[in-house]
């Protein structure tokens, strides 16, 4: 184990994979000299040079599409988006091309493409650079979606993503970048399979499903609730597609209560999807309708206090747990 | 003058495309093909001539008007037709239909129903060739005058020029972006005026003239495979049919289409071959008989192919290893 | 090495037993095989012998406790031995001495509030709460919901369950069979558990319960009041059985007079041969033959099914101190009159000695009850479920009857007559069938040669 920043863990994992496999390369904005604006590609240019660390013009559709073209012709590109909000600029390439190529061509192509970057509030960047956008992609078949909540999980999931022969959208959270140093396993083969949830805290009264930054917030809420005798189980799915619905359902069968927490808007978010799947499967074990905790249906404002008012806070999670328990 | 071998190959491919598209039209009218088809009739010289310079190691990306590219890139007539009829034996097992046919084994990275959608993909394929050190190989992105107004076209050309990728941006200028005439689409007289902005060489040729296309291609291929970066190749041509089957064509006159047909590429090239002595009547007739037979077999194959099994409809969304 | 004494299981149906008397005092010595305690089940009162020798170190469950089978009731060992490990198993009992048992119900959680719902009103209940209620067999129609929207949720079911006094399995079954609501019943068993002893005799009685205190308030007459005595296990079983019979069957009866003169002669013949045969044995034999002829009388009802028995097992009601027991003569249709006589002698002796085993009084398909010895002319018996018929036999009395003599003239003769009354379940036995059965019985008894 080593201690390092989240971004350093990402950069180290990419470097390890690039050393292992010459077909792995990085493409994206500002990945060169400055190593990405948050430093998640730091040091890569020095080691691998301009041929494999390709800093692009600000042309998200162009270089995401080029990533697809390279992926289906024998390379394993890691495309870095400066902000995952910028997926919107490349939406046709991601949704119409990347996601569908293998299927519409009758299963002939492999698409070993990773599109990664950070998202979320915490940068003071307002509406177009602070969104959590992972839920949108869940509605398009053909994309795997990873949402790590710790640097160790990020390392294991990123390695799996790079070695996967399918397109993976890899969402990091900028608040985790700023979360100090993390314990990270040093094994260059450390991998976490997709579709395997991690129970971050065991509990018996209510199941809280959260991802990314909000796993930590849910754990803090659980501490508070424990003081009141409420036992919270925090389940981190780690990938939204494929989704480990079995682990979530087993937890709900035990607790009878489900709360989903994410930074993205509650309306149409993945929390709704998980709640629906849980009700499909284990409705008879549920003691109350599940509750979504998510952002208000509102673009993210600039003012820090306004921003805080839009996205969920720990007291919101605490309140949701109590409400689902009719307490 | 082009070689005899290339000339006969191009003639055969043009005939295949012509007969294929006529067959497709017949099948559509007979309600044997559903959805819509975008016919390449009248533009055959472009795909056939360009692809005559390519091997299976060279890549193309294609467009919604993609049957011609697929056939010219070595696609099997029967599998292509079967795909258009939604059959299990089709190139994509009935999932793509007319607009998304791909054949990776022949270097065809797929038609693309999003206008301009394939251009960055071609750019990425050329990036692969460059990074993999395949110095003799290159990629052609086929697209039309309509795609020239897509942002991603600019992004791709810019990227390819910056990274000196081995790619030919082949613009099939048929004068209309669906119903939008060229003068309402492009603010300058020539699309190739844009090439200077990327510092790439360009050629603008009569897309119904096989010899003109081949002459430009020779130079273009030499340029892109020498590591000097991309080339823009505009082929001015025209489609005989509407944008799609069912297009009322209110945007152009019948006379315009008749004039277009007078510039028809296949008969023109046939006459040229006889005139220059590249091929005699007998050789040409043998090719025509061969193509007619091949097309009949393809039709037979497609018509007798099974429907795909809905039980497998969700297969292949992901590679399962 | 100290040994546990547990509540023993005596018979397949036994789930609990009540300790009636300790025959050895705590601290006294006991030999293996020596009678140690008396216990009562709902069928029997039995004296149990010690299974080990030593000192009775501890009586864990005092007289009056109703104890589930296999639970610890006492410990035998050497004086001074540490038996705390063995007692640990019986912690709940040790914590609740018998004296405090009656107070236990008062310690039970306060009764859950009862929901006022109009008939047919929709009950909102969470899926989980419904699932748990169904698993636990809890009727949630009167449970108040405390969920956000007033729905019944899991904790309401659990609170309701906790508010219900503990109940022994047997008592729960009896209550269910009789539709008795256990809420509000004070348990007199260990830890306030409701036992069968605590159940009102019938559901209607329970409904009338509020009236009872008023009666109790009536001034004693001339200083004489009432005395309340707890029903014995057997009494409760009889009580439940009889009530269940009356509540679930379509009972009615037919009567017929039978001339027993020939049967008396038959008995005399057997007696002359040194074989003791009672009138009851002859009647059982006649019944077995008639039941063979008419399987529907020998059948029973199971839900919507009629169960026909290939065998004929005839029970005979035997009066014992404190109640009644019905030992069963198995295969009465094939063991012959002398076989019936021998078996009935054995069973009656066992019954009076309290030595009947479980198998001796189960599996009957028909019952004969004779009360002639009490000078009874005739009477009506209640069917013993799950049987479908019972024959009540009055005394044999010399009676003037009109007979036709050989010359075809009517005259009055003295005959030994006996009145038979067949109670039958009209659900499966039609009146004519019951009449036919009596006719056949009469024929067998009046022509006893057919019985040999």
Question: Could you write out the DSSP letters of every residue in C394-421?
Answer: EEEEEEEEEEE-TTS-EEEEEEEEEEEE
Q: Per the CB < 8 Å rule, is C127 touching A323?
A: no
Is the pLDDT assigned to residue C6 strictly greater than 50? yes
Those chains having 3 or more beta-carbon pairs within 8 angstroms of chain C are: A
Residue B298 backbone phi and psi in degrees, to 5: -60, -45
Structure tokens at B101: 């046919």
A172 is catalytic: no
- Evaluate if residue C96 carries a pLDDT over 70: no
Chain C partners within 8 Å of A288 (Cβ): 126, 147-148, 151, 153
B94-126: burial string, b at 16+ Cβ within 10 Å, e else: bbbbbbbbbbbebbbbbbbbbbbbbbbbbbbbb
Residues B221-244: tens digit of each pLDDT: 999 999 999 999 999 999 999 988
Higher per-residue pLDDT: C27 or B81:
B81
The CATH number of domain C250-451 is 3.10.20.30: no
Higher confidence at residue A150 or residue C235? Answer: A150
Q: What backbone phi and psi angles, to 5 degrees, belong to A66?
A: -65, -35
Q: What is the pLDDT of residues A1-23, one digit of tens each?
A: 999 999 999 999 999 999 999 99
Please determine, for residue C207, whether its predicted confidence score (pLDDT) is greater than 60. Answer: no
A70 at the B interface (CB within 8 A)? yes
Check CB contact of B133 with chain A, cutoff 8 Å: no
Q: Do residues C65 and C18 lie in contact, with contact meaning Cβ atoms separated by under 8 Å?
A: yes
pLDDT mean over A103-109: 92
Show which of residues 71-130 on chain A sit within 8 Å of chain C, judged by CB atoms.
none
Q: Is residue B321 part of a domain?
A: no
Residue indicated by tokens 């081995």: B166
| Mutation choice for A interface testing from C146, C154, C157, C159 by most A CBs within 10 A | C154
Q: Phi-psi region for residue A122, left (φ > 0), alpha (ψ -120 to 50) or beta?
A: left
Three-point CA angle B83, B89, B91, nearest 5°: 50
A261 in helix, strand or coil? Answer: strand
Sequence-distant (6+) residues with CB within 8 A of C387 are C300, C315, C364, C365, C366, C367
> How confident is the model at residue A179, as a pLDDT?
80
Can you tell me the distance from the alpha carbon of B214 to that of B208, in angstroms, rounded to the nearest whole number?
11
Is the residue at B111 inside a domain? yes
**pLDDT tens track for B263-292:** 999 999 999 999 999 999 999 999 999 999
- Catalytic residue chosen out of the listed positions A16, A29, A60, A172: A60
pLDDT tens per residue across span B196-214: 999 999 999 999 999 999 9
Q: Which residues in A lie closer than 8 A to residue B318 (C-beta atoms)?
A: 102, 142, 144, 166
Confidence class for position C112, pLDDT limits 50, 70, 90? low
Q: Residue C91: pLDDT band by 50, 70, 90 thresholds?
A: very low
Identify which of B95, B121, B127 has the shortest CB distance to residue A104.
B95
Q: List A residues 270-309 in contact with C (Cβ-Cβ < 8 A).
A: 283-288
Contact criterion met (CB below 8 Å) for A134 and A168: no
- Cβ-count burial of C201 within 10 angstroms (0-12 exposed, 13-18 middle, 19+ buried)? middle
- Which residues in chain A touch residue B138, judged by CB atoms under 8 angstroms apart? none
**Region B69-87: what's the mean pLDDT?**
97
Return the pLDDT at C86. Answer: 79
Q: Among A92, A97, A36, which Cα is nearest to A61's?
A: A92
CA C24 from chain centre, in angstroms, equals 30
Interface residue B71 vs chain A (CB under 8 A): no
In three-state secondary structure terms, B206 is strand
Predicted pLDDT of residue C219: 56
Q: Give the pLDDT score at C204.
A: 36
| Segment B256-269 mean pLDDT | 95
Lowest pLDDT segment from C105-114, C292-301, C420-429: C105-114
pLDDT tens readout for residues B299-319: 999 999 999 999 999 999 999
pTM: 0.67
pLDDT of C218: 52
What's CA C308's distance to the chain center, in Å? 23
Whether B186 has a pLDDT exceeding 60, the answer reads: yes
**Cα–Cα dist C369/C375, whole Å:** 14
pLDDT, tens digit (0-9, with 9 covering 90-100), for C132-158: 999 888 889 889 999 988 899 999 999
Q: In angstroms, what CA-CA distances link A165 with A19, A106, A240?
A: 18, 16, 18
- The answer to which of B184-198, C45-59, C171-185 has the lowest mean pLDDT is C171-185
Q: Report yes or no: A107 at the B interface, CB cutoff 8 Å.
A: yes
C-alpha C323/C-alpha C319 separation (Å) is: 6
Residue C419 has pLDDT above 90, yes or no: yes
pLDDT at residue C94, as a whole number: 40
Q: Which domain holds residue B277?
A: 4-302
Is the per-residue pLDDT at C203 higher than 60?
A: no
Domains of chain A: 2-184 (3.40.50.970), 198-324 (3.40.50.920)
Set of chain A residues whose Cβ sits within 8 Å of the Cβ of B93:
106-107
B141 shares contact with chain A (CB less than 8 Å): no
Is residue C19 within 8 A of residue C63, CB to CB? The reply is yes
Instruction: Please state the domain extents for chain C.
Output: 3-95, 250-451
Using one digit for the tens of pLDDT, what is the confidence trace for C242-287? 888 888 889 999 999 999 999 999 888 888 888 888 999 999 999 9
Count of alpha carbons within 13 Å of C250, Cβ hemisphere only?
7
Verify whether the Cβ–Cβ distance B117 to A110 is below 8 Å. no
Q: From CA A14, how far away is CA A24, in angstroms rounded?
A: 9
Which residue of the set A16, A29, A129, A217 is catalytic? A129
Side-by-side strand order, sheet with A53-55? A53-55, A24-28, A76-80, A114-119, A168-173, A144-146, A239-241
Quote the pLDDT of residue C115: 79
- Is A102 in Cβ contact with B318 (below 8 Å)? yes
Which one of C125, C127, C145, C159 makes the best mutation probe of the A interface by having the most chain A beta carbons within 10 Å? C127
Q: In this predicted structure, what is the pLDDT of residue C111?
A: 55
**Residue A326: which of C127, C128, C153 has the nearest Cβ?**
C153
The whole-angstrom separation of Cα B230 and Cα B198 is 9
Helix axes C279-293, C431-446, angle to 10 degrees: 130
pLDDT band per the 50, 70, 90 thresholds, residue C223: low
How does residue C220 score in pLDDT terms, banded at 50, 70 and 90? low
- Arithmetic mean of pLDDT over chain A: 97
CB–CB of C87/C75 below 8 Å?
A: yes
CA distances to B27, C10, C169 from C45, rounded to whole Å, are 96, 10, 20
Per-residue pLDDT averaged across B22-30, rounded? 93
pLDDT the model gives residue C294: 93
User: Using one digit for the tens of pLDDT, what is the confidence trace for A295-316?
Assistant: 999 999 999 999 999 999 999 9
Tokens of B146: 């309509």
Q: What are phi and psi of C393, to 5 degrees?
A: -115, 120
Residue corresponding to tokens 């990938």: A239
| Residue C23 DSSP symbol | S
Chain centroid, CA A131 distance in Å: 12
* Min Cα–Cα distance to chain A from B105, Å: 9
Domain spanning C3-95: which CATH class is it, in words? Answer: mainly beta
DSSP string, C277-341: --HHHHHHHHHHHHHHH-GGGG-EEETTEEE--SS--EEE-EEETTEEE--EETTTTTSHHHHHH
Q: Of A181-195, B199-213, C194-208, C275-289, which range is least confident? A: C194-208
Selecting from A52, A97, A109 the residue whose C-beta is nearest the C-beta of B104 gives: A109
Q: Using an 8 Å CB-CB cutoff, list chain A residues near B158.
A: 57, 59, 62
Q: Rounded to whole angstroms, how far apart are CA atoms A170 and C53?
A: 77
Gap between the Cα atoms of B25 and B45, Å rounded: 19
* Helices assigned H by DSSP within C178-302: 203-207, 212-217, 233-248, 261-272, 279-293
Residue C425 β-bridge partners = C251
- Measured between beta carbons, the chain A residues lying within 8 angstroms of B61 are 69
CA distance B43 to B174: 8
Question: Confidence class of residue C93 from pLDDT cuts 50, 70 and 90?
Answer: very low
pLDDT beyond 80 at B173: yes
Share of chain C above pLDDT 90, in %: 33
Tokens of B14: 């043009």
Residue B98 sits in a domain of what CATH number? 3.40.50.970
Chains A and B physically touch (3 or more Cβ atom pairs below 8 Å): yes
> Tokens in use for B65?
């008007």
């Amino acid at each position: 184990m080593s201690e390092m920043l989240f971004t350093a863990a990402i950069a180290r994992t990419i470097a390890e994979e690039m050393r292992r496999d010459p077909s792995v390369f990085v493409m994206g904005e500002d990945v060169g000299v400055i190593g990405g604006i948050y430093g998640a590609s730091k040091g890569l240019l020095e080691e691998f040079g301009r041929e494999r660390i390709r800093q692009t013009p600000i042309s998200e559709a162009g270089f995401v599409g080029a990533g697809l073209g390279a992926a289906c012709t024998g390379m394993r590109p890691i495309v870095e988006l400066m902000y995952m909000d910028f997926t919107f600029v490349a939406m046709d390439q991601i949704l119409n091309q990347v996601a569908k190529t293998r299927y519409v061509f009758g299963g002939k192509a492999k698409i070993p493409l990773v599109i990664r970057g950070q998202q979320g509030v915490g940068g003071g960047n307002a509406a177009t650079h602070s969104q959590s956008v992972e839920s949108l992609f869940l509605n398009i078949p053909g994309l795997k979606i990873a949402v790590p909540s710790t640097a160790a999980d990020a390392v294991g999931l990123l390695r799996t993503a790079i070695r996967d022969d399918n397109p993976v959208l890899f969402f990091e959270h900028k608040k985790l970048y700023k979360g100090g140093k993390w314990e990270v396993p040093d094994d260059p083969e450390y991998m976490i399979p997709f579709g395997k949830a991690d129970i971050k805290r065991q509990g018996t009264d209510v199941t809280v499903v959260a991802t990314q930054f909000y796993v930590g917030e849910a754990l803090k809420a659980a501490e508070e609730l424990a003081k009141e005798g409420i036992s919270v189980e925090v389940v981190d799915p780690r990938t939204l597609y494929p989704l480990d619905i079995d682990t979530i359902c087993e937890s709900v069968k035990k607790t009878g209560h489900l709360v989903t927490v994410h930074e993205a808007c509650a309306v149409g978010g993945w929390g709704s999807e998980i709640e629906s799947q849980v009700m499909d499967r284990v409705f008879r074990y549920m003691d109350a309708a599940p509750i979504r905790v998510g952002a208000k249906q509102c673009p993210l404002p600039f003012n820090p206090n306004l921003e805080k008012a839009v996205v969920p806070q720990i007291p919101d999670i605490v309140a949701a747990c109590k409400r689902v328990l009719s307490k | 003058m082009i070689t005899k071998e290339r000339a006969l190959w191009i003639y055969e491919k043009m005939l295949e495309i012509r007969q294929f598209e006529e067959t497709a039209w017949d099948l559509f009218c007979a309600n044997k093909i559903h959805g819509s088809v975008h016919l390449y009739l009248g533009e055959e010289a472009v795909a056939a001539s360009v692809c005559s310079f390519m091997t299976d190691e060279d890549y193309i990306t294609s467009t919604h008007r993609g049957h011609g590219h697929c056939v010219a890139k070595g696609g099997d007539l029967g599998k292509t037709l079967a795909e258009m009829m939604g059959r299990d034996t089709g190139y994509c097992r009935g999932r793509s239909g007319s607009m998304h046919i791909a054949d990776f084994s022949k270097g065809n990275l797929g038609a693309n129903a999003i206008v301009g959608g394939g251009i960055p993909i071609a750019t990425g394929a050329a990036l692969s060739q460059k990074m993999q050190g395949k110095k003799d190989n290159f990629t052609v992105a086929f697209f039309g005058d309509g795609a020239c107004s897509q942002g991603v076209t600019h992004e791709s050309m810019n990227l390819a020029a910056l990274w000196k990728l081995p790619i030919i941006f082949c613009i099939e200028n048929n004068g209309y972006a669906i119903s939008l005439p060229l003068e309402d689409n492009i603010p300058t007289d020539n699309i190739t005026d844009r090439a200077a902005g990327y510092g790439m060489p360009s050629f603008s040729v009569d897309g119904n003239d096989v010899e003109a296309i081949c002459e430009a291609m020779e130079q273009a291929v030499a340029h892109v495979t020498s590591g000097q970066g991309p080339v823009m190749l505009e082929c001015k041509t025209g489609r005989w049919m509407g944008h799609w089957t069912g297009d009322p064509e209110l945007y152009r006159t019948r006379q315009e289409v008749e004039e277009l047909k007078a510039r028809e590429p296949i008969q023109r090239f046939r006459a040229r071959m006889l005139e220059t002595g590249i091929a005699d009547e007998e050789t040409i007739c043998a090719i025509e008989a061969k193509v007619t037979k091949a097309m009949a077999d393809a039709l037979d194959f497609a018509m007798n192919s099974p429907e795909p099994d809905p039980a497998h409809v969700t297969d292949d969304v992901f590679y399962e290893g | 090495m100290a040994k546990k004494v547990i509540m023993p299981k005596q018979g397949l149906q036994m789930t609990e037993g009540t300790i009636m008397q300790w025959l050895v005092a705590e601290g006294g010595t006991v030999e293996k095989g020596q009678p140690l305690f008396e216990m009562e089940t709902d069928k029997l009162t039995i004296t149990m012998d010690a299974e080990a020798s030593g000192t009775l170190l501890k009586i864990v469950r005092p007289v009056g406790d109703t104890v589930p089978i296999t639970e610890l009731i006492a410990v035998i060992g050497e004086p001074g031995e540490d038996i705390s490990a063995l007692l640990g198993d019986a912690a709940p009992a040790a914590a609740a001495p018998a004296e405090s048992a009656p107070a236990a119900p008062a310690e039970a959680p306060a009764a859950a509030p009862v929901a006022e719902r109009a008939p047919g009103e929709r009950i909102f209940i969470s899926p989980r709460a419904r699932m748990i209620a169904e698993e636990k067999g809890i009727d949630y129609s009167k449970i108040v919901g405390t969920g956000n929207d007033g729905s019944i949720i899991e904790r309401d079911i659990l609170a309701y369950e906790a508010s219900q006094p503990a109940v022994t399995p047997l008592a729960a079954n009896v209550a269910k069979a009789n539709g008795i609501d256990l809420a509000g019943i004070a348990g007199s068993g260990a830890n306030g558990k409701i036992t069968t002893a605590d159940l009102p005799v019938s559901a209607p009685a329970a409904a009338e319960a509020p009236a009872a205190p008023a009666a109790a308030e009536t001034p004693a007459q001339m200083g004489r009041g009432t005395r309340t005595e707890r029903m014995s296990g057997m009494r409760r079983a009889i009580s439940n059985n009889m009530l269940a019979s009356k509540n679930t069957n379509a009972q009615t009866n037919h009567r017929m007079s039978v001339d027993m003169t020939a049967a008396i002669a038959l008995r005399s013949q057997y007696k002359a041969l040194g074989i003791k045969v009672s009138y009851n044995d002859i009647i059982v034999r006649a019944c077995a033959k008639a039941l063979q002829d008419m399987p529907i009388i020998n059948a029973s009802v199971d839900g919507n099914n009629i169960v026909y028995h290939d065998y004929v097992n005839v029970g005979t009601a035997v009066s014992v101190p404190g109640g009644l027991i019905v030992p069963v003569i198995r295969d009465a249709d094939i063991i012959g009159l002398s076989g019936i006589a021998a078996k009935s002698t054995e069973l009656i002796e066992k019954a009076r000695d309290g030595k009947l085993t479980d198998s001796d009084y189960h599996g009957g398909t028909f019952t004969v009850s004779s009360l002639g010895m009490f000078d009874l002319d005739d009477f009506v018996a209640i069917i013993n479920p799950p049987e479908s018929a019972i024959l009540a036999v009055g005394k044999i009395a010399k009676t003037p009857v009109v007979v036709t003599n050989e010359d075809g003239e009517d005259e009055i003769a003295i005959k030994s007559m006996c009145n038979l009354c067949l109670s039958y379940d009209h659900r499966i036995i039609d009146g004519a069938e019951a009449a036919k059965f009596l006719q056949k019985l009469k024929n067998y008894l009046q022509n006893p040669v057919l019985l040999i």
